[in-house]
Structure formats: structure tokens, C-alpha cells
Amino acid sequence: MKSMLIGSLFVLASMQARAEGDAAALAEQPKSVKVTLAQALKAGAAKGKPISAKFELEYGRFQLSVYTVSGAIFSEMIVDHATGEITRTETIISDDDLSAAKAQSEALVGAKVSLQNAVVRAQKANKGYRAVSITPSKRNGRASAEVTLLKGSESKTVVEQLD
């Protein structure tokens, strides 16, 4: 019994690690996914400025997450991937997540293109692919965003300029 429990925990931990770091793990998204990453960013904009978004498996559950900032408050919003409604909002307080959120917000300084528009541009330039994550960064002092795209089990990351 103890070895089964340890084995199960190992499988869950490896699923989570693989899913968070590997877009191809998202190729088997539930058929209930109707909402695009751009739509999730639009939903998040109702509660703050979106600073990143991604489809992910967390603790073995599929979800669509949007990080936002409003004033000095950073939040993670979970968007229902079937309806586009925000189902949960949590203030980001953990050190790692808060550091990432602050870096993402800083990377958007000087951006003239929204993350939502960057996702749309990336998908238009890569026919047949759908965006599964977007993360802003500074490249050579310029605001940009890495957009991870998925087509079946094939994934690629493209850079969209935001300035």
C-alpha cells in the first residue's frame, strides 16, 4: 500500500512538472476547451492589466490562468476554459510567483501592443497553431513576449515585439 501511494505521488508530481514545462503535454487538452488564450486575456483585463497567461495542468487538473496587476496588487485569475468566465481570483503572495509577476509587469513597461493582440498576431503568422502561453520579457531593452504555440503535439515558441 505504501509503495502504491509513493508511486502515485511520483506520477502526479512528474505529470505536473512535465505539463508546466512542456507545451506538448497540453496536446491532450479536454474537448471542453472552447476559450482561446486571447479571450482569457480579455476576461482578465476586466479585473486588471494582464501580464501573462497560460493553459496548464496544476495538481493534475487542467486550467487556464491569467496573471494581472491592478495598482500594486498582483493576482492570478482562473478562467473557465469552456465559458470564459473568471471562476477564481487569488492575490499572488508566494515569493516565486510574486517575483515572476513583478518581472512580467516590468517587462511590459513601454509596451504599445497588448498581450491579447500579440497572441492574435502570433496565431495569424502561424496558421493552424493555437497559443497556449504568453510571457513578456525585455529583449535588448525592448518590450516583447514569448508566445508558445501548439499544433497537435508539435509546439514552438515565437517572439512578438510589443513596442
Domain definitions of the chain by residue range: 2-161
d(CA 156, CA 72): 33
Reported as a pLDDT band with limits 50, 70 and 90, residue 23 is: low
Q: For residues 29 and 151, give the distance between their C-alpha atoms in angstroms, rounded to a whole number.
A: 12
Q: 32 vs 36, which has greater pLDDT?
A: 36
For the whole model, what pTM was predicted?
0.83
Q: Give me 19's grid cell.
A: 505539463
pLDDT score of 24: 52
How are beta strands 49-58 and 61-70 bridged, if at all? antiparallel
Cell of residue 3, nine digits:
509503495
Of residues 112 and 22, the one with the higher pLDDT is 112
pLDDT of res. 33: 84
CB of 85 closer than 8 Å to CB of 43:
yes
Can you say whether the dihedral through the CA atoms of 6, 153, 36, 123 is positive or negative?
Answer: positive
For residue 82 the three cell numbers come to 469552456
Q: Is the pLDDT of residue 11 over 50?
A: no
Alpha-carbon gap, residue 65 to 36, rounded angstroms: 12
pLDDT exceeds cutoff 90 at 32: no
* pLDDT per position as a tens digit, 55-112: 998 888 889 999 999 999 999 999 998 899 999 999 999 999 999 999 999 999 999 9
CB 149 within 8 A of CB 132: yes
Residue 163 has pLDDT above 60, yes or no: yes
